[in-house]
Structure 1
Amino acid sequence: MAVPYTKPKGGIAADASILRTRNAPLKICTWNVRTLFQAGKFDNLLQEMKEMRVDILGISETRWAGEGMIDKKGYKMVYSGGSEHSHGVGIVMSDVVAKSLIGYWPVSDRIIMCKFKASPFDLTIVQVYAPTSDYTDEEVEQFYECLNETLKQVKSTDITIILGDFNAKVGNTAMSSTMGRHGLGSTNERGESLINLCEQKKMTIVNTLFKQPVRRLYTWKSPGDVKRNQIDYIVMSSRFKNSAVNCRTYPGADIGSDHNPVIMQMKVKLKIPHSKQTKTVKYCTKLIRLPEEAEKYAVLVKNKFECLYVEEADATRDIDQQWDCLKEAIEKTNEEFFYQGLIEKGNRSGSQKISLT
């Protein structure tokens, strides 16, 4: 397994407004597509993503080599693969969501992490593709060790969501805050590894929290549809599990895979990275409409301006320096005059009661 990156890649600068999802929950999905290394397969994926109205889609088994970011048809995708066209993971996001991307970590051909600027807490998405039953227990342990190292880079205040094909069965036995009783089947050894990770990191397996018909629970079916199992999961911080509105599979989605996409709806607000939010102060100017108050205001501005102008060390004052002094004098007078007027004047001379907004 590769060593996790310590610094993110591919942060996207943007100047769009904050993405608000109070009335439209964010849809987050994970899907093992078997491969994207076929002509037209990526276009097929984007079409299915559009029809399902998914905002963030984690992908297992992209089978793309290398790592990077691509932009196509109103979506952006970051991916991480090995030197060969096997395994591979990626995260696709709509352009609206991508404006909040802080960066991504292409950890290995089985793990990729993205972080988004969000309010009130940042959102971290980790897409994984765990080793199948064909791999040894040692390789599975290495995968979970690498995942643990990756999660160490996540702040405790972040809304952390791990998506992907874990090739594990957690069953339907409720276990405190780790999982609910609406899973499918019984627990196996690799399912216990996933449950242990959730207990250590204080996370919850969201699939198991919502009661659904069986056809909305299974995520994989064997050739000939002989067996159906639940091995793809969405896991999130237990602290924020109440943010999940719903979680279920979509068997109707078609991309030539034996896996079904798992979609979770949650309410979250994203904002643009590095945006500076300035507080606008609005003064109530009703008081200054009174002649005696207007005269007093003018005297205060004049006195402050002269005081600041005299204090100016440079003897060769230009028009810009004069303007700076006047601007500062007006700002200071506004703060003192209108606040003082609020305290002393109140409802005076028939004027309305003044309030600061």
Structure 2
Amino acid sequence: MLLRPGRFEELKQQMKLKQLDILGVCKTRWGDNGDFWSDDFRMINSGDKQGKNGVGILLNKEWGLQVENTYRVNDTILLIKLKTSTVNMIVIQVYFPTSNSEDEMEQVYDSLDELLGITRDSDNVIIMSDFNAGKGEGQDNQIVGKHGLGRRNIRGERLVNFCKQNNFLVTNTMFEVPKIRRYTWVAPGDTNRYQMDYVLAKSRFKKQVMTSHSFPSAEIDCDHNLVVMKYKIIHKKVTKRPKFHNRVIAAGIGPPWEEAVNNIRQSAEESIGFRKLNPRKPWIANEIMDLIKYRNKLRKTDDAMNRIIKNRITQKCRVEKEEWMDITCKNIKINMTANRMDKAYGMIKRLSRLPKPRSKIVKNRNGQLILDEGEIATRWKEYIEDLYKGLIGEHDMNNENIIESNEEDIGPNITKSEFVKALSELKQGKATGVDDIPAELLKNVGKDTEYKLFEMIEKMYRDGNIPEDFAKSKIVLIPKKRNSTECKNYRIICLG
């Protein structure tokens, strides 16, 4: 669906127009996995190198900031965990291939059962999917509403059994709406209309489902209709960093280390700000967006002209992309000729960079997947303790082996010139520690702040008392393999 040029921008435009918060996408046909921001939208997708199927979840800025964890099972199943003020909210996007193989269908259901096994009973789970299944009309045991469409087939029967076993509601069969708002797929030539896409919600959260039905008026170039569920839920607000109004470090007795760190960070945020992410496709021009809007208007009135405009959009996207690539390559060549290698390699890196999505989900000691953040942190604590067990023996930590220092063992005082030299020699472009202050900020503080930092460091050296930050480190986990769930398949790096 999203492989054609301009499709992703069109999808974002429709999310804005329809005021959607979370959108599930099937058959993205994007190779490999991804997690990136584009304008005010966050796209999380799961795929494979062949680009055969692929699923994705597109979130607006408000919900994109609430993503706590992601897990990609394969190119047909994707799970994200969202922070809310009440219980955990888990959204699963699934795609059932159209093949007639029952084994392939059962493999997808087995993977879904395994995913639901790592969730808690109290979790608010929502499943969005192109099930390629006909549920049919008629109510079934409070799980399936009576406002379906057509006749039930074998796949529809399997879907109903899955919902009964796991206490899910088929939400877009629960509300009485005209049949034009029930069908989700139109057969070629409009010979027939079927209901094949569904949104499932846990039956215990039934009261939170306000409405759910298909949206045939959505102007998206796809043979499936959008299914929209209006859901009542309150999520956590992102807490902003508190402001420190007194940021100038005055002469006299210096403030504590924590206040100095907060002052530096807050001043940098106000004066410099955060780096803004560029749009994923900068070559999408306003002219292309206008053509997309015009094509959407023709979609139901003039099919022949619609196809002409559709082809023109594709051609225009290709031309604009080629021109943008030519200009970028020329700029790279100019920078390399002028020996500005840092800028040249920076542009090359931005062109060739691929998103590297990471999932926090790991297996416990018994080999079972765990989703809860607290349990994941406990598992990593256990693993790291086991990993370093024996490197520091009890003999080394025995109080009898600790030798007290005397005045003769203490070296000379730190001079201001030594401190300034050490500060200027800090390497730039390095990852920050627990205080989130890069070396570039420390090297560019004012003279007054620099002197107060020197006073505090010199006092720490003389008294032997250090702040808590100095005794902490930030642990960064780098997976050795794609979709790693074993702790041993990660490289562990500590940032002080």
Q: Is TM-score (shorter-chain normalized) higher than 0.5? A: yes
Q: Which whole-Å CA distance do the structure 1 matches of 2:217 and 2:95 have between them?
A: 22
Of 58, 62, 74, the residue aligned with 1:92 is 58
Q: Does 1:64 align with 2:34?
A: no
Aligned to 1:188: 153
Q: Which whole-Å CA distance do the structure 1 matches of 2:239 and 2:167 have between them?
A: 29
Tell me by how many angstroms 1:135 deviates: 3.5
Q: How does 1:253-268 map to 2 (within 5 A)?
A: 253-268=218-233
Aligned to 1:79: 45
Q: Does 1:139 align with 2:95?
A: no
Whichever residue aligns with residue 94 of structure 1, its letter is N
Q: Which whole-Å CA distance do the structure 1 matches of 2:26 and 2:118 have between them?
A: 22
Deviates more, 1:175-184 or 1:204-213: 175-184
More helix by share: 2
The 8 Å contact of residues 117 and 273 in structure 1, kept in 2 or not, is answered as: no
Aligned to 1:234: 199
Q: Does 1:216 align with 2:164?
A: no
Q: How does 1:153-302 map to 2 (within 5 A)?
A: 153-271=118-236
Tell me by how many angstroms 1:255 deviates: 2.4
Q: Which whole-Å CA distance do the structure 2 matches of 1:253 and 1:87 have between them?
A: 23
The 8 Å contact of residues 99 and 272 in structure 1, kept in 2 or not, is answered as: no
Aligned to 1:50: 16
Whichever residue aligns with residue 23 of structure 2, its letter is L
The 8 Å contact of residues 169 and 188 in structure 1, kept in 2 or not, is answered as: yes
Tell me by how many angstroms 1:232 deviates: 0.2
Considering only aligned residues, what root-mean-square deviation do their CA atoms show, in Å?
Answer: 1.6
User: Relative contact order, CA 8 A, sep 6+: which one is greater?
Assistant: 1
> How many residues are aligned here?
241
Q: Which whole-Å CA distance do the structure 2 matches of 1:210 and 1:130 have between them?
A: 24
Whichever residue aligns with residue 210 of structure 2, its letter is V
Whichever residue aligns with residue 170 of structure 1, its letter is K
Deviations 1:167-192 (A, max 9, x none): 00111221122111011111110011
Tell me by how many angstroms 1:273 deviates: 7.9
Q: Which whole-Å CA distance do the structure 2 matches of 1:117 and 1:273 have between them?
A: 10
Q: Which whole-Å CA distance do the structure 1 matches of 2:115 and 2:51 have between them?
A: 23
More strand by share: 1
TM-score w.r.t. the length of structure 1 is 0.65
Structure 1 runs of 4+ off > 6 angstroms? none
Q: Which whole-Å CA distance do the structure 1 matches of 2:188 and 2:178 have between them?
A: 22
Identity of aligned residues (%): 38
Structure 2 spans left out of the alignment, 5+ residues = 241-496
Q: Which whole-Å CA distance do the structure 1 matches of 2:13 and 2:200 have between them?
A: 26
The 8 Å contact of residues 177 and 203 in structure 1, kept in 2 or not, is answered as: no
